[in-house]
Structure 1
């Protein structure tokens, strides 16, 4: 059984996460902490395999707490579950070893997928003292089966520009935006921007609608909130 500690200051969200965990075989919630101080107390008294950690909490925020855990070499895995979708925060979380990053609101299927992938790795590694390269590659491929690899950028696109386009879509202060909107603020050609937006639509990060309006029809885009996790490999 995998022991889960929920670190979340909102009682309703914590309860929802507890109910979600209860639906996934092989996991049990052994505690709930409303802040990092309480989480530290629980980590010292109970065996915890996995933290479901919020970022925005009173006192020490989730990223600083994760950084502290790594500095103290705590043997615990972490999945970030938060409304924070800032690119910098996502990058920090991944660099600090978060195994996944779920952006609220999300559907149960995405939550379940994250836990099941973790479970497969947890037990695969627990049963072995050593693994060979082939076994390790298979495990790493399974971990990201629902997302494209971070180097899987289509021919003609670059990861640097793709990251810039993603950052602009997150920062733009509009519900929807067009190719022209992004081209104007990025100073990248409209033709190039269109290629990147098309790719982001193909992986499910954006949804594309044709706006007939006045004059010639134009494509307008909006971010599919439940699918924001698909961009994580590209950040």
Structure 2
């Protein structure tokens, strides 16, 4: 069984997430925490395999908890579950080593898909003399909001970052503008944007200027 620590400042939300986890075969809730200090203490005391970590906590931010866990070389894995949608927070969480980044509100199926992908990858990697690309992809290549598998060469965590940039923006963005905010290359960012358009999660607008091709601008479908 994968033992999970649920961290959320809202008691009711934590209870909902706890219920979600208990419904997924192979997972059990080891404990809950509602502050950053309590989360750090619970990790030390309970030794969970996985933490579902809120970013907005009343005393210590989830990002600071991540930093301290990595500083202490904690072996616990972390999935961020938060309402924080700004690109900088997403990037900081990815740098801190989260396995996935789930934006509230989300459905049970979204969490279930992330947990199942996580446990499958851990099972394949545990005891293996070397990792193969397919297993690494299973670990890092979760698809946003349980959508169809990403095309070859696209990664779920990077897709989450591009989604966060689009959601945060009040206006449409060019691929170059989105890339600058996400800290990615323009070519790579455009591939993710076009994929989101094909999924129907973003829309593209053409801006006609002077001579040459019209500029493609992307907007999150709200």
Partner of 2:202: 206
Kept after mapping to 2: 8 A contact 1:165/1:182 = no
For structure 1, the 5+ residue unaligned runs are 154-158, 187-191, 210-219, 226-235
Q: 1:79 to 1:204 in 2, by over 3 A?
A: farther
Count of residue pairs brought into register by the alignment? 193
TM-score (norm 2): 0.73
> Could you give the per-residue CA deviations for residues 62-84 of structure 1, whole angstroms, max 9, x where no partner exists?
01110110001111000000010
Report the secondary structure of 1:38's partner residue: helix
Q: 1:122 to 1:201 in 2, by over 3 A?
A: same
Partner of 1:223: 220
TM-score (norm 1): 0.69
1:3-152 to structure 2, matched below 5 A, reads 3-126=3-126, 128=127, 130-132=128-130, 135-143=131-139, 144=141, 146=143, 147-148=149-150, 151-152=153-154
For structure 2, the 5+ residue unaligned runs are 144-148, 178-186, 206-216
Kept after mapping to 1: 8 A contact 2:87/2:165 = no
Structure showing greater relative contact order (alpha-carbon pairs closer than 8 Å, 6 or more residues apart): 1
Q: 1:20 to 1:224 in 2, by over 3 A?
A: farther
> Could you give the per-residue CA deviations for residues 123-179 of structure 1, whole angstroms, max 9, x where no partner exists?
2233x1x433xx4212123332635368449xxxxx9xx999867633433xxx5xx
Larger radius of gyration: 1
